[in-house]
Chains A and B, each alone.
Chain A
Amino acid sequence: MSAAATALGEAARPLDAVVGMVRRNGWALALLAFLALLLIFTKVIQPRYGVAGAQALAISALPLALAAVAQAICVIGGGIDLSIGSMMALTSVIAAVQMKGQPEEFGVVVVLAVLVLGLILGAINGAVIVFTRVPDIVVTLAMSFVWAGFALLVLASPGGGSAKWLRDIILGPFLNEWIPKSAIVLIVTVGLVWIPLRRSRLGLSIYAVGSNRLAAFRSGVGVGRTKIAAYALTGLFAALAGLGLTASTGIGTPVPGPYTLTSVAAIVLGGVSLAGGRGGVLGPIVAVLILQLIRSDMTFLNVDTNLAIVAQGAILIGVVMFGSLLQLRRARR
């Protein structure tokens, strides 16, 4: 092989890597482009939309984005978790009750304890699914009532408090007024867990189990253990989302908000296959931003709130159908 050919080959490698990356994250990148268009559209219909709007978008998206990441992990692993909203409520009220009136430093202990609790709640969900062999959707639906009941036992009505540092960590800009702290918090927390996980044996196992449970088992993957671990990670991110709620409102709310179904909508829009084994977390996060921005646009356009909900559903179906069509066309080639 000539030196020229070798040089050409080396030059092609980074390009191949970029092409490969684009192919792997095609849907997420398309969503990013859609988000950019939506931002332009927002600016057109509401010329005042700027720094404050970006800050508001990032803050309101934080708990939902973390809930979407939570949902994405267990769906990639071949399951689904309908108890995410309840786990968020439970972890949020526990954090709010424990932090109220306590020194700021104690808040750190509470946050760590709540994250461990999230892991445990998720692991319990996973263990019940694995050991009882009852379908995931049934178990997590049932567990959603259990966790919601516990949340009401901890705090009968919204209340509690939040450490000031926890609120400050997500409110306001970071270095530049266009960079919301909550966006940094989202990137750091998701990156710290997801990137090592994606490259680890456990991450591969989650994808393998979600893709083909039997094949994964025959390849020596511990299916039960992997499933429990995936649900535990879902619980961890649900706890992070619960802490996000406490941080943004300064209180704990025992009645779960509309986070579970929105997280499912976000992962579907974000390109995670409900059949398992396919997708990532970038798509769902971008999808959450899109869903939030569409909601804001409906407000800016002064669309009737009830009609706005209908429009959101229609847009969701439209985008997912468009994506499926593209995939079908690609498969035919």
Chain B
Amino acid sequence: MKHTGIARRLATMAAVMALAAAACTSPGSSAGPAATSGGGGTTSPTQAAKQYVIGFSNTGGTGNGFREEQNCTAKAEALASGQVSKVVMIAHNTDSAGQLSDLRDLISQGVDAIVFNPSSADALNPALAEAKTAGIKTVAVDAYVTDPDTWNFYNNQVDYAYLGATWLFKYLEANGHANGTIWYTRGIAGHPADTDRHTGFTKALSEHPGFKVLPSKDGVFTGWDPTTATNLANDFINSGDWDKIDGVWTSGMDSQVVDAVKAASKTQKPIVGADLGAFASYLLDSTKYQGLVGAAVTNTAAVGGAGVAVALKLLNGDTLTSDPASTRPNTLLLKPVLADNVTDAGKQTLQSWQSVQGLNPIWPLSVTLPDWTHYTAEQAVACKGPGE
């Protein structure tokens, strides 16, 4: 009992310190994509006295910078909010059946809310219905689920792909490759974000019908795994196909392609990637990566932290407004931003994204979402949740 009392006092002190830190620091320094939702709500970290337990489930992408940052921002938001006593984090590579099992473990544990990166839009619905029955709030981040009671908070992935692909097609058209060939690399087959991005890419391609796509219009899957992406790039280069293409569209496995091309002493081709540290720095380094032309599109991993913020709003009874731009209910969308290394404005934007010290080069550069998250970029990099 005595220990519990001490622990409680320590937790209260930590919460007060976190509140003070959150109040004294501006949330984040990096440029983030704009939240289009009007769901900002009214809850501030100072409002809630109750301490919640948040469950977090991430499947796939172990070793992937986006997923690592997503998990760390979730911990950081929980810490900075001052409303969370514990984050139960389950992050490993598994399939939908495995994630169902993870979600049920979190339900058994009696968490107050579950934030998760879904492996499938439909497969998790039974566990999400069980969570609702148990009074647990559920928030999907990075992709959507079709469960009607779960809130979805994610980057507008259709726009993400459309924006990047359109830039690539227009750049090539302006430089005499109107009927060029694109190497189309994707993420994880069946992941809702990948499916949405495919929709966006296909839409852009239909508006620029002169372009051909290799290996096919369905692209090739990297599994969002850096090793797989590197192997695929090496195979593509060694097959001789690299010399036949005019540009590359990647689903975030971008620096791996640039590195493989550099290692093979081949000519870089115009490439689209995400706002990952390594890729953005390559785009700005005209000495080491001479002739590299490309654009990065924001795909913030701060959705992990924002998901926790959304869960806390739901737990505190706040009203959220679904994004009218989405055809799905309970959806909050983030609008992606593109920056290239061709225009001065693009270069300046890329430069402005480089402000976070100690950021892992494979992490996305937009570490915070000022409209939603309360932690600092340094807290995200520290990757510590409450009680850690």
Contact = CB atoms under 8 A, between A and B. Distances in A.
B342 interface: no
Interface size range on B against A: 35 or more
B37 to A, nearest CB: 28
Contacts of A90: none
Interface string A44-58: 001011001101100
Contact of B94 (A56, A257, A299): A257
A40 B360 CA distance: 42
Interface in A32-65: 46, 48-49, 52-53, 55-56, 59-60, 63
A258 B89 contact: no
Contacts of B218: 156
B303 interface: no
B97 A248 contact: yes
Contact of A48 (B88, B98, B110): B110
Contacts of B97: 60, 63, 245, 248-249, 253, 257
Contact of B109 (A59, A157, A248, A299): A299
Contacts of B339: none
A55 B194 CA distance: 32
**Most chain A C-beta atoms within 10 Å of own C-beta, residue among B94, B105, B189:** B105
A78 interface: no
A46 B96 contact: no
A108 interface: no
Contact of B96 (A59, A156, A251, A258): A251
A158 B90 contact: no
Contacts, number: 105
Contacts of B109: 46, 48, 299-300
Contacts of B134: 52
Given A255-B189, A299-B88, A305-B90, A158 B108 contact: no
A55 B92 CA distance: 22
Contacts of A299: 88, 90, 102, 105-106, 109
B190 A302 contact: no
A171 interface: yes
A52 B88 CA distance: 18
Interface of A is mostly: helix
A292 interface: yes
A49 B120 contact: no
A152 B189 CA distance: 10
A46 B111 CA distance: 11
Nearest to A308: B92
A258 B125 contact: no
A296 B108 contact: yes
Given A60-B97, A299-B105, A52 B130 contact: yes
Nearest to A258: B94
B86 A302 contact: yes
Interface of B: 86, 88-98, 100-102, 104-110, 119-120, 122-123, 125-126, 130, 134, 189-190, 194-195, 218
24 contacts: A46-B109, A48-B109, A48-B110, A52-B108, A52-B130, A56-B101, A56-B105, A56-B108, A59-B100, A157-B190, A158-B123, A158-B189, A158-B190, A159-B190, A167-B126, A248-B100, A249-B120, A253-B97, A258-B94, A258-B95, A258-B98, A292-B101, A302-B88, A305-B92
Shortest beta-carbon contacts, A-B, top 4 = A158-B190, A56-B104, A157-B190, A60-B101
Given A52-B134, A249-B96, A299-B102, 18 more contacts: A48-B110, A53-B108, A56-B107, A59-B101, A59-B104, A60-B97, A60-B101, A158-B120, A245-B97, A248-B126, A250-B123, A257-B95, A257-B97, A258-B98, A295-B105, A302-B86, A302-B89, A304-B89
